[in-house]
């Protein structure tokens, strides 16, 4: 059939996970934990099913979960989301991003994405008939507002922000959000704010949500995902928080895309979120993993780039090899036995850099084995 995404291949996550499995490599490619979730959360799913929560929930999501999400966002970020009007439960962050983009951009519109950009933004924008405009970050993966301003045209309709940022592991600052607010207001842009790593911020920094900035929140679709926060990426339950008019537009499409999502997990998440701040400690947990992994790689020729958030560590392998990033990631997987993700897949145009990303959401013994292989091989 003629494809609406003629240039799309197979996503890098599928490619690298398959290659890792084929070669028995330690899979630090695709971002998912190799450890279990809190047994209390798992039990809550069983309890929800036993209690009969197995039919369609309301189109917008289980009310108790929407209330828990609104309460969390408002407590953490000082926002004023209304559970009934402004929160919609989605099939993971991916569907939230997709539907948000479909409802705010259309044919001929331009959407600014910050490169390296998570790989689902570009196809979602193209499927909406719009044009993704890639704006590079600075050399050390900071947001480059001069470049963003230069990319704005009369056709620019929206910008996709991602903080903490996949793949670089950097986090936006308060000044970044203020600058974004100025640009968005000046050019009347929608903001799609991908905050799925909101609870993974290190070294005492705090997450800069669009929800902290009323001017931004008023024009933003804030996207979150429970998969990241509670170590259940396969549940595919997330949410979008947006003011009434934006949420109404979102729900108009959502009702005919998935209608609603899996009931028992929504009840379980609502019950779990009733515990005091169950995300607390997640930042420290991943910071310890980051520190252990970085220390274990110190004996290699990999240059470790800064990592302020997410569960990704990006490295520069220029001192080891001149292979392009995809070739190096494949070589690392098949010859050294550790899978990684090449950053080149997160750009529209070829890059000169020599950077790959490792996921450290892994058991300590998994990370130790990966580091042992890297130390031995590099």
In this complex, which beta carbon is closest to ligand PMP, that of residue 82 or of residue 119?
119
According to CB under 6 A, which residues from 2 to 31 bind ligand PMP?
31
Return the closest-CA partner of residue 250 out of 220, 211, 294. Answer: 220
For residue 30, state whether it binds ligand GLN (rule: CB under 6 A). Answer: yes
Residue/partner pairs of 212-218 with CB below 8 Å, 24 or more apart: 212/77, 212/78, 212/79, 212/177, 213/177, 213/178, 213/181, 214/79, 215/181, 215/184, 215/185, 216/177, 216/180, 216/181, 216/184, 216/191, 217/79, 217/243, 218/243
For residue 162, state whether it binds ligand PMP (rule: CB under 6 A). Answer: yes
Task: Please choose which of ligand GLN, ligand PMP, none residue 194 contacts, taking the beta carbon within 5 to 8 angstroms, the exact cut-off set by kind.
Answer: ligand PMP
Q: Which stretch binds ligand PMP (CB under 6 A): 15-23, 89-97, 176-184, 259-267?
A: 89-97
Beta strand 87-90 with 26-27: parallel, antiparallel or unpaired?
unpaired
Q: How far is the CB of 31 from ligand GLN (least distance, A)?
A: 3
In this complex, which beta carbon is closest to ligand GLN, that of residue 94 or of residue 263?
94
Is 213 in contact with 242 (CB distance < 8 Å)?
no
Kindly determine how many residues on this chain lie close enough to bind ligand PMP according to the rule CB under 6 A.
14
Which residues fall within 8 angstroms of residue 111, CB to CB, at 6 or more apart? 101, 105, 121, 125, 130, 131, 132, 133, 156, 157, 158, 159, 160
Residues β-bridged to residue 240: 88, 223
For residue 238, state whether it binds ligand PMP (rule: CB under 6 A). Answer: yes
In this complex, which beta carbon is closest to ligand PMP, that of residue 300 or of residue 311?
311
For residue 347, state whether it binds ligand GLN (rule: CB under 6 A). Answer: no
Q: How far is the CB of 357 from ligand PMP (least distance, A)?
A: 11
For residue 196, state whether it binds ligand PMP (rule: CB under 6 A). Answer: yes
Task: Please choose which of ligand PMP, ligand GLN, none residue 13 contacts, taking the beta carbon within 5 to 8 angstroms, the exact cut-off set by kind.
Answer: ligand GLN
Return the closest-CA partner of residue 6 out of 102, 133, 123, 125. Answer: 123
Which residues fall within 8 angstroms of residue 140, CB to CB, at 6 or more apart? 305, 306
Which residues fall within 8 angstroms of residue 100, CB to CB, at 6 or more apart? 192, 221, 223, 240, 242, 250
Q: How far apart are alpha carbons 27 and 307 in whole angstroms?
A: 19
Binding to ligand GLN by CB under 6 A, coded x per residue (else -) over 129-168, reads -------------------------------------x--
For residue 279, state whether it binds ligand GLN (rule: CB under 6 A). Answer: no
Q: Write down the residue that tokens 């949500």 correspond to.
A: 209
> What DSSP state is assigned to residue 165?
P
For residue 247, state whether it binds ligand PMP (rule: CB under 6 A). Answer: no
Q: Is the peptide bond before 167 cis (omega within 30 degrees of 0)?
A: yes
Kindly determine how many residues on this chain lie close enough to bind ligand GLN according to the rule CB under 6 A.
5
Binding to ligand PMP by CB under 6 A, coded x per residue (else -) over 165-194, reads -x---------------------------x
Q: Please, what is the Cα angle at 308 between 304 and 269, to 5 degrees? A: 125
Is 231 in contact with 72 (CB distance < 8 Å)?
no
For residue 198, state whether it binds ligand PMP (rule: CB under 6 A). Answer: no
Is 138 in contact with 20 (CB distance < 8 Å)?
no
Task: Please choose which of ligand PMP, ligand GLN, none residue 300 contacts, taking the beta carbon within 5 to 8 angstroms, the exact cut-off set by kind.
Answer: none
For residue 31, state whether it binds ligand GLN (rule: CB under 6 A). Answer: yes
For residue 116, state whether it binds ligand GLN (rule: CB under 6 A). Answer: no
In this complex, which beta carbon is closest to ligand GLN, that of residue 97 or of residue 104?
97
Task: Please choose which of ligand PMP, ligand GLN, none residue 238 contacts, taking the beta carbon within 5 to 8 angstroms, the exact cut-off set by kind.
Answer: ligand PMP
Q: How far apart are alpha carbons 324 and 340 in whole angstroms?
A: 13
For residue 229, state whether it binds ligand PMP (rule: CB under 6 A). Answer: no
Task: Please choose which of ligand PMP, ligand GLN, none residue 311 contacts, taking the beta carbon within 5 to 8 angstroms, the exact cut-off set by kind.
Answer: none
Sites of contact with ligand PMP (CB under 6 A): 31, 92-94, 118, 162, 166, 194, 196, 225, 227, 233, 236, 238
Sites of contact with ligand GLN (CB under 6 A): 11, 13, 30-31, 166
């Amino acid at each position: 059939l003629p494809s609406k995404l003629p240039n799309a291949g197979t996503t890098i996550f599928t490619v690298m996970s398959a290659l890792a499995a084929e070669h028995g490599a330690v899979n630090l490619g695709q971002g998912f934990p190799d450890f279990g979730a809190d047994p209390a959360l798992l039990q809550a799913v069983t309890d929800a099913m036993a209690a009969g929560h197995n039919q369609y929930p309301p189109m917008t999501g289980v009310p108790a979960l929407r209330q828990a999400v609104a309460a969390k966002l408002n407590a953490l970020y000082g926002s004023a989301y209304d559970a009934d009007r402004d929160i919609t439960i989605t099939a993971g962050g991916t569907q939230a991003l997709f539907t948000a983009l479909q409802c705010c951009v259309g044919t001929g519109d331009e959407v600014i994405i910050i490169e390296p950009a998570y790989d689902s933004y570009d196809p979602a924008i193209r499927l909406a008939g719009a044009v993704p405009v890639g704006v590079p970050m600075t050399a050390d993966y900071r947001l480059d507002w001069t470049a963003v301003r230069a990319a704005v045209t009369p056709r620019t309709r929206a910008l996709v922000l991602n903080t903490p940022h996949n793949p670089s592991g950097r986090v936006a600052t308060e000044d970044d959000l203020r600058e974004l607010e100025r640009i968005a207001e000046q050019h009347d842009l929608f903001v799609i704010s991908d905050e799925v790593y909101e609870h993974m911020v290190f070294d005492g920094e705090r997450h800069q949500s669009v929800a902290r900035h009323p001017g931004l929140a008023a024009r933003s679709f804030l996207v979150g995902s429970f998969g990241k926060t509670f170590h259940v990426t396969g549940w595919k339950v997330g949410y979008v928080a947006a003011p009434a008019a934006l949420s109404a537009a979102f729900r108009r499409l959502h009702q005919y895309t998935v209608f609603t999502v899996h009931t028992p997990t929504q009840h379980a998440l609502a019950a779990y979120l009733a515990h005091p701040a169950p995300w607390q400690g997640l930042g420290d947990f991943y910071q310890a993993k980051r520190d252990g992994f970085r220390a274990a790689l110190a004996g290699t020729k990999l240059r470790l780039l800064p990592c302020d958030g997410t569960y990704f560590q990006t490295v520069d392998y220029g001192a080891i090899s001149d292979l392009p990033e995809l070739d190096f990631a494949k070589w690392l997987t098949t010859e050294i036995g550790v899978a990684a993700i090449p950053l080149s897949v997160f750009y529209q145009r070829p890059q000169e850099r020599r950077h790959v990303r490792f996921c450290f959401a892994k058991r300590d013994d998994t990370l130790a084995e990966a580091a042992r292989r890297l130390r031995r091989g590099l």
